[in-house]
Amino acid sequence: MTVLAILFWVSVALLVYTHVGYPLLLAALARARGRRSFEWPEGQPLPAVSVIVAAYAEESVIADRVANLRALNYPELEIVVACDGSPDRTAERALEAGADLVLELPRGGKVRAQDAAVERAEGAIVAFSDANARWAVDALSELVAPFADPRVGYVCGEVRLTGEDDTNQEGLYWRYELRIRDWESRLRSVTGGNGAIYATRREAYQVVDPIMGHDLSFPFKIVKHGWLALFNPRAISSEKMVPTIEGEFARKRRMMAHTWPIVVRGGMLSPRGYDPLYALMIFSHRILRYLSPFLHVVALGTSIALISQSLVYVAAVAVQAALLVAAAAARAAPMRPLLVARYYVLTTASLAAGLWDWLRHGTSAGWEPAAGTR
C-alpha cells in the first residue's frame, strides 16, 4: 500500500471514528454503566449559591434575565451581574431589576468579569449563565443536586435551543452533542460544557487565561485537579440560536479562535492528570473533532490523487463532491438535507478558520453578543 493510500484510509477512519464510532462506543459503555443518581439528601439544607451573569451591552435583555433568576425555586440565591465595561445602561437596568450585586468593571473580557464576580460572591457554589438565557424554575436546584457527591467539582445543564424555523441546523447537532455529553458524564466526566448553565464549587473554580473561556477549559482542568465534571440533563436552560447557517459559521469561528489556544497551550494536550478513559474521551471528542477539517482535506486530496487506481477512490471523490455541491445548492434550494450538508461543511470549515484567525491576529479577551440571539 502506498503512502497516499495509507493517508487516505487513516484520515477516513479517524473521521468515521470521531463522528460515529466514538458515540457508539460511549453508548454501549454507558448502557452497561447506568445513570448516575442526582438527588440532594432529604433533610439536608441546600448550599447558598451565587449566580453570576457576565454582561456586555445587554441592556435589552438583562432585566428579564434577573427577573428569570429571581423566579427560581431556590432558598438561598445571590444574583451577581458583572458588567464588562458595558457602554450602555446594562448596570442600571440590572440594579433596577433586583440584582443583589452589580459590578461595573473596566473592559477586560468575559473571563476576567467572571473572576471579579467570584471574588465578591458569597455562595459556596458559584453558578454562571449568559444574559440571554432563561432557566426553568427548578434549574438551579437540579444544577446543584450532583454536588451532594463530594467528588463533584463542576456541573453543567442542558441547553434547549429555540428559533429552529430559519436555516441554521445547530439544533440537530446540539441534540447529538447532548447525547454524547450524557454518556461521557455517566462513564467519567464531560469533555466540554456550555456558557448558559453551569456551576462549580468555590474551591474548584479555576482562574484561566482571559482568552480561554470556561466552556472548554473548565471540565478538563477540574478533572486534572481530581474532581468529577458532570452533566445533569434535568437542569434546563433555553437560549435563542443564531438564525442562519452563515451566522453560525461566524459564531463558531469566533469560538474556535478562543478554543485553539486552550488546545495548543492551555493544557488539554498534556495527559498529566488524565486517567486512560478520560484521555480517550479528550482525544476522541475534542482533539480529533478539531482536526476534522484537516482530515477532510487529506481524504479529498489523496482520493483525487488515487482516483485512477480503484473504484473505491472514484466513489470517495464522488461522495465528497456531492457533499460540497449539496452545501452550495442549499442557498438556492433551502431543503433540509441540503441545509444539513451546508451546516456540516461550514461549521467544519469554521474550526480551521478559527485557527487561522488565532495564528494570524491573536485572540482578544473581549466579546460581543452573537447577532440574532437577543
Is the pLDDT assigned to residue 374 strictly greater than 60? Answer: no
Each residue of 76-90: pLDDT tens digit? Answer: 999 999 999 999 999
**Residues in the chain, total:** 374
- What cell does 199 get? 456551576
Is the pLDDT assigned to residue 371 strictly greater than 80? Answer: no
Task: State the pLDDT at residue 54.
Answer: 96
Domain 49-243 listed as CATH 3.90.550.10: yes
Could you say which DSSP state residue 37 is in? Answer: P
User: Within 13 Å, how many C-alpha atoms sit on residue 214's CB side?
Assistant: 29
Could you say which DSSP state residue 166 is in? Answer: S
Each residue of 234-250: pLDDT tens digit? Answer: 999 999 888 899 999 99
Name the band, by pLDDT with cuts 50, 70 and 90, for residue 365. confident
Is the pLDDT assigned to residue 198 strictly greater than 90? Answer: yes
In 3D, which of 159, 130, 124, 161 has the Cα closest to residue 47?
A: 124
Task: State the pLDDT at residue 1.
Answer: 77
Task: State the pLDDT at residue 324.
Answer: 97
Mean pLDDT value of segment 195-215: 95
User: Dihedral, CA atoms, 153, 235, 44, 204, nearest 10 degrees?
Assistant: 10
Is the pLDDT assigned to residue 126 strictly greater than 80? Answer: yes
- CA–CA separation, 271 and 359 (whole Å): 24
pTM confidence score: 0.93
Task: State the pLDDT at residue 372.
Answer: 60
Name the band, by pLDDT with cuts 50, 70 and 90, for residue 299. very high
| Domain range annotation of the chain | 49-243
- What cell does 10 get? 487513516
Judge residue 361's burial from the number of C-beta atoms within 10 Å of its C-beta, 0-12 exposed, 13-18 middle, 19 or more buried. exposed
Name the band, by pLDDT with cuts 50, 70 and 90, for residue 366. confident
- CA–CA separation, 283 and 10 (whole Å): 15
| Radius of gyration for the chain, computed over Cα atoms and rounded to the nearest angstrom | 22
Name the band, by pLDDT with cuts 50, 70 and 90, for residue 162. confident
Q: For the chain, what percentages of helix, strand and coil (3-state, to nearest 5) are there? A: 55, 15, 35
Q: State CA 33 to chain mean position distance.
A: 24
Name the band, by pLDDT with cuts 50, 70 and 90, for residue 373. low
